[in-house]
Structure 1
Amino acid sequence: MSTGVTDKTQKTIGGIRRKFAPWNDPGAVPLIRYKNVTKRFGEFTAVDNLSLDIYEREFFALLGPSGCGKTTLMRMLAGFEEPTEGQITLAGQDLVGMPPYRRQTNMMFQSYALFPHMSVWDNIAFGLKQDGMEKAAVAARVEEMLKLVKLETFARRKPHQLSGGQRQRVALARSLAKRPKVLLLDEPLGALDKKLREATQFELMDIQMELGMTFLIVTHDQEEAMTVADRIAVMDHGRLVQVAPPAEVYEQPNCRYVADFVGDVNIIDAKIESVAPGAVRLRSDAADMSLMIAQDVEAKPGDQAWIAIRPEKVRVDLDPPVEQGVNCLSGTIWDIGYLGDLSIYHVELPNGARIKAAKPNLTRVVERPISWDDKVWVSWTPDAGVVLTR
């Protein structure tokens, strides 16, 4: 049973998160600004003429596959790399040429990089002592950090006496102890198991909100980025492809690359038949009928397009749907994946193409379960899919 204090805190955080959107305020001044930044390693361009604004108190995620430039972008902010061209500013101060120790940033590495011969307490205190902080102030700050990450009873243990999750918390506390303007998180949860990683994601969000700090996280884990971030920058080959809040990136991808990279998706090749305000009619080889998507689009009849539809928005039934205005295709169950909370059905269409549908398992017993080789109907409403033109 939760306490009144916890409920009040949750409501407060929820209220802040719902209203927080400085990127929509024309008068808001970014805390971090990348302006036409390029980074080359020899002939290889890791970051290509990139501009990006990140705001104070924002939890921002750089998301993309290995080699897309996200870690290089973070390392340039930290001072471990210098841009070949362009400018990086933090709170209006130009960072180019400034050594890492003078920047108001701190970085938490995937390996944690804890000192094995030092206790938890001394690991957290190390940077504070290096800065010449008074002994009493160091002690107070370390105790504050231990309480923040819930490790008060582990203060005298060495790193090898801790679990992976506890070591991760020590590294986080050490990174936060110096109270940087920006905390940089480089794949911080990659070494944790799935359940611990999911729990730690929410702890990171709560700590970030409690401290009112700006967090910048680099990850290739889409679920992690979707969970923790206020906004996500999806990267590819050193460029920004889309920068938006998680729900927008998932529900309204701006191109096939984003739709395919973030989450699971069906992408159907199609040609545009007609365009009207708020509606697009398309023809696909996968269907013997026109498909309707409720969306405004800048295109004309005959243009190449793609329909992106998430599996959880596709219905799969043994009988054809009775609703009007539903996109509907017939097919045969080719494969089934049972995931506990839901089942994934791979449906083979008459032309050999396959489409995935996700169906929640709402009850333990199904009178007539859908099985392999069954003839089924897959369908989705006009507002469930997205038309992509690039």
Structure 2
Amino acid sequence: MGPVRRSFSPWTDPDAVPLIRFENVTKKYGDFTAIDNLTLNIYEREFFALLGPSGCGKTTLMRMVAGFEEPTSGKVLLAGKDLVGVPPYRRAVNMMFQSYALFPHMSVADNIAFGLKQANMPKAERDERVKEMLKLVKLDKFGGRKPHQLSGGQRQRVALARSLALKPKVLLLDEPLGALDKKLREETQFELTDLQVTLGMTFLIVTHDQEEAMTVADRIAVMDHGKIIQVATPGEIYEQPVSRYVADFIGDVNIIPAKVETAGGNAIKLKSPWSESPIEVSTNVSAANGSDAWLALRPEKVGISLQPPAPGTANVLAGEVWDIGYLGDLSIYRVKLPSGDIVKAQIANSTRLVERPITWEDKVWLSWAPEQAVLLTS
């Protein structure tokens, strides 16, 4: 599935027509603005994630597609058709909830068949579709069981099969893996992406879990206060955030305050209270001399050493190891600078840890290449 996902990028085609389009959508509840003049395109066969903290408006957007909410102004289009006034049961979408909402008195097969019955599908065709869905989610032998006889992961699969049974144009996933434990959630994320590619359907997921969005999505929309701050692929969101908000929300990061000292070409020198010497950054971001700026530096891009680097090495900070977090596959070092600020550095534990080479209260030097950090102006 990997090559398929990497080659799929309809959003780069100016002639591509979106399957879902939010066009200048605003949603208000009294004086509160949940969605603020938002425009967004989602394409057919795309796995799209709405990511943000509670109250940012992501669930409101999904509910507009489902038909549970109507925009105060603007349009929500599905395959070019305005959805305003179209009841939920007449929309070519289906929704899977975090709670799964399975009928406890029905068998797994009957739960999956419920929507098909409501659609008056003939029994023979219905039975065949249920069989197909059970095989798809690897529950072939569980059709006769009741939901309480299943594990959490199995119930999640039943809810997914029921949502897919009617073969909607769009499947809406509202925090679908939130009830699963961490290990099972991680396994299910990959199963979900493979399933989406296999079916060739459009999935729209709402989540506040950054790792989940990064794993499953072709593109992510990072939201805040009813606005979209950035829409991009997971790699672009992580490596090229457009603001401190996005950089800080996605993954772990050091945000270093600075002022632009000299700017020329693709090289900029910054003066920061965190460093006695200028900080160099390679970037194509334009910034005026003397303007405020921030450097977003991921911990895994920071080298840490007990020995000072060679004279003339760019971007060096000296400090003392303040805290260490051992996470098995990696270790996080929190280094306190003379200014009192903390910089995080991350090291992969590629060998079995017998004796820690760098420990608490050691004096260390941190360094990074000019191209490893991202210059932010907002």
Shorter-normalised TM range? over 0.9
Residue in structure 2 matched with residue 6 of structure 1 by the alignment: none
Of 322, 335, 339, which aligns to 1:334?
322
Deviations 1:76-131 (A, max 9, x none): 01000011000011001110110000000000000000001000000000000110
- Mapped partners of 1:312, 1:368: distance in 2: 18
Q: Is the 8 A contact 1:328 1:378 kept in 2?
A: yes
Residue in structure 2 matched with residue 28 of structure 1 by the alignment: 16
Q: Is the 8 A contact 1:280 1:296 kept in 2?
A: no
- Mapped partners of 1:322, 1:267: distance in 2: 25
Deviations 1:38-68 (A, max 9, x none): 1111111111100000000000000000000
- Mapped partners of 2:315, 2:42: distance in 1: 40
Structure 1 position 279, deviation (Å): 1.4
Of 252, 256, 259, which aligns to 1:264?
252
Structure 1 position 376, deviation (Å): 0.2
The answer to whether residue 76 in structure 2 is matched with residue 88 in structure 1 is: yes
Residue in structure 2 matched with residue 9 of structure 1 by the alignment: none
Q: Is the 8 A contact 1:34 1:52 kept in 2?
A: yes
Structure 1 position 323, deviation (Å): 8.1
The answer to whether residue 244 in structure 2 is matched with residue 244 in structure 1 is: no
The answer to whether residue 364 in structure 2 is matched with residue 381 in structure 1 is: no
Of 137, 140, 145, which aligns to 2:128?
140
Residue in structure 2 matched with residue 4 of structure 1 by the alignment: none
Name the SS for the 1:71 alignment partner. Answer: helix
Structure 1 position 321, deviation (Å): 2.2
- Mapped partners of 1:324, 1:128: distance in 2: 70
Residue in structure 1 matched with residue 274 of structure 2 by the alignment: 286
The answer to whether residue 26 in structure 2 is matched with residue 63 in structure 1 is: no
Residue in structure 1 matched with residue 140 of structure 2 by the alignment: 152
Residue in structure 2 matched with residue 229 of structure 1 by the alignment: 217
- Mapped partners of 1:146, 1:234: distance in 2: 34
Residues 198/285 of structure 1: CA separation in 2 closer, same or farther (3 Å cut): same
The answer to whether residue 309 in structure 2 is matched with residue 309 in structure 1 is: no
Structure 1 position 325, deviation (Å): 4.5
- Mapped partners of 1:58, 1:321: distance in 2: 46
Q: How much identity, in percent, do the aligned residues show?
A: 70
Residue in structure 1 matched with residue 351 of structure 2 by the alignment: 363
Q: Is the 8 A contact 1:234 1:243 kept in 2?
A: yes
Residue in structure 1 matched with residue 37 of structure 2 by the alignment: 49
Give the TM-score normalised by structure 1: 0.96
Structure 1 position 277, deviation (Å): 1.6
Residue in structure 2 matched with residue 7 of structure 1 by the alignment: none
The answer to whether residue 198 in structure 2 is matched with residue 210 in structure 1 is: yes
Deviates most, 322-331 or 270-279: 322-331
Structure 1 position 16, deviation (Å): 1.3
Residue in structure 1 matched with residue 287 of structure 2 by the alignment: 299
The answer to whether residue 98 in structure 2 is matched with residue 110 in structure 1 is: yes
The answer to whether residue 63 in structure 2 is matched with residue 75 in structure 1 is: yes
Q: Which amino acid in the other structure matches residue 204 of structure 1?
A: L
Name the SS for the 1:113 alignment partner. Answer: coil
Q: Which amino acid in the other structure matches residue 236 of structure 1?
A: D
- Mapped partners of 2:370, 2:338: distance in 1: 22
Q: Is the 8 A contact 1:276 1:296 kept in 2?
A: no
Residues 366/314 of structure 1: CA separation in 2 closer, same or farther (3 Å cut): farther
Of 184, 187, 193, which aligns to 1:196?
184
Q: Is the 8 A contact 1:327 1:381 kept in 2?
A: yes
Q: Which amino acid in the other structure matches residue 171 of structure 1?
A: A
Deviations 1:345-364 (A, max 9, x none): 00000111110000111111
Q: Which amino acid in the other structure matches residue 31 of structure 1?
A: L
Q: Which amino acid in the other structure matches residue 110 of structure 1?
A: Q
Name the SS for the 2:247 alignment partner. Answer: helix
Structure 1 position 293, deviation (Å): 0.8
Give the TM-score normalised by structure 2: 0.99
Structure 1 position 246, deviation (Å): 0.3
Residue in structure 2 matched with residue 8 of structure 1 by the alignment: none
Of 131, 142, 157, which aligns to 2:119?
131
- Mapped partners of 2:228, 2:39: distance in 1: 8
Q: Is the 8 A contact 1:325 1:382 kept in 2?
A: no
4+ residue runs over 2 A deviation: 321-326, 365-368
Residue in structure 1 matched with residue 166 of structure 2 by the alignment: 178
Q: Which amino acid in the other structure matches residue 38 of structure 1?
A: T
Structure 1 position 297, deviation (Å): 1.6
**For structure 2, which runs of at least 5 residues remain unmatched after alignment?**
none
Name the SS for the 1:383 alignment partner. Answer: helix
- Mapped partners of 1:280, 1:233: distance in 2: 29
- Mapped partners of 1:154, 1:282: distance in 2: 62
Structure 1 position 366, deviation (Å): 5.8
RMSD of the TM alignment (CA)? 1.0
